[in-house]
């Protein structure tokens, strides 16, 4: 299957990024007016920390998940699968890691295509057959190909600053003797920017999950295999112990399916619902059959 652009999806991502850009320009203008140059050093320091986090994103994410990089002698079939699918996706072969967890899931991380890692859990390998596992790995490789870690890092940078200003803004006043009116306005603007950007970033994340699903179907030529994997993973989640789910909930944005699925979680989720993703894959399957 040819790697074709989904222009409707690209348009939605473009509009979301455009709205985020406009929101951040207003935010920067407000900080300049109400806080003057006082925030410059804070923003620069945070930028350095964010840059370091992005630069070491592959190692930090694997460490935080308790993932272990594995060599080919330990998991020859998994390595062979990742290597072959990487060639089909036209991306450098990433590091391969495994998490010893009953939660069936997978994620990709890394600052660039050359510095990336794909990780699967033991629960995932025990749940899926070969074709389904290939679909999941191809989905993660699509994230690598689309540079999603970099995109989401850039998109969320000023949102994080807005949240920090809101949370710690009163500390920036420099004491009670100073006129803190401008700071109070900046705190209010920061709260509004954070709320709106929070919603926009999650919408962007959901669109990029759809794009990764489509990319996986392109790489493998089997949309139905990924759809089957998503159904199995979603169903298996219900039988995973609560403590295991809680341990990994903080990493939802990285996973192929979030580990919790309450109504409020779905509203603010980084992922589309499994049902919508399966429907999109089924439509893609029909397109391939009639092509």
Residue 234 has pLDDT above 60, yes or no: yes
Compute the distance between CA of residue 276 and CA of residue 104 in angstroms, rounded to an integer. Answer: 20
Does residue 140 have an active-site annotation? yes
Res. 111 pLDDT band, cuts 50 70 90 = confident
Nearest Cα neighbor of 26 from 200, 189, 202, 199 is 189
pLDDT tens digit sequence for 21-67: 888 888 877 777 766 655 566 667 667 777 777 788 788 889 988 89
Residue-level pLDDT at 107: 93
Residue-level pLDDT at 236: 81
Rounded to the nearest integer, the mean pLDDT of the chain is 82
Query: In this structure, are residues 27 and 162 in contact, taking their beta carbons and an 8 Å threshold?
Result: yes
Q: Which of 2, 140, 243, 250 is labelled catalytic?
A: 140
List, as own/partner pairs, every contact residues 199-203 make where C-beta atoms lie below 8 angstroms and the sequence separation is at least 24, other chains included.
199/268, 200/16, 200/19, 200/20, 200/23, 201/20, 201/152, 201/155, 201/156, 201/159, 202/268, 202/269, 202/270, 203/16
Residue-level pLDDT at 267: 56
Q: Higher confidence at residue 82 or residue 23?
A: 82
Residue 186 has pLDDT above 80, yes or no: no
Query: In this structure, are residues 40 and 96 in contact, taking their beta carbons and an 8 Å threshold?
Result: no
């Amino acid at each position: 299957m040819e790697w074709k652009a989904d222009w409707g999806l690209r348009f939605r991502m473009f509009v979301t990024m455009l709205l985020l850009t406009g929101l951040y320009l207003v935010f920067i203008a407000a900080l300049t007016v109400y806080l003057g140059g006082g925030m410059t050093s804070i923003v620069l320091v945070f930028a350095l920390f964010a840059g370091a986090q992005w630069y070491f994103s592959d190692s930090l994410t694997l460490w935080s998940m308790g993932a272990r990089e594995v060599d080919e002698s330990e998991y020859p079939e998994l390595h062979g699968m990742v290597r072959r699918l990487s060639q089909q996706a036209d991306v450098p072969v990433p590091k391969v890691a495994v998490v010893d967890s009953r939660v069936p899931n997978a994620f990709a991380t890394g600052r660039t295509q050359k510095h990336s890692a794909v990780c699967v859990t033991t629960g995932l390998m025990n749940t899926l057959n070969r074709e389904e596992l290939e679909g999941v790995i191809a989905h993660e490789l699509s994230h690598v190909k689309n540079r999603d870690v970099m995109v989401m890092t850039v998109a969320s940078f000023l949102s994080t600053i807005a949240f920090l200003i809101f949370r710690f803004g009163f500390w920036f006043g420099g004491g009670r003797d100073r006129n803190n009116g401008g700071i109070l306005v900046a705190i209010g603007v920061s709260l509004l920017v954070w709320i709106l950007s929070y919603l926009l970033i999650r919408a962007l994340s959901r669109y990029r999950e759809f794009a990764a699903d489509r990319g996986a179907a392109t790489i493998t030529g089997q949309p139905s295999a990924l759809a089957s994997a998503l159904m199995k993973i979603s169903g298996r989640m219900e039988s995973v112990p609560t403590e295991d789910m809680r341990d990994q909930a903080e990493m939802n944005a990285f996973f192929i399916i979030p580990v919790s699925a309450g109504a409020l979680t779905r509203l603010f989720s980084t992922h589309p619902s499994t049902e919508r993703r399966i429907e999109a894959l089924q439509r893609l399957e029909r397109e391939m059959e009639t092509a």
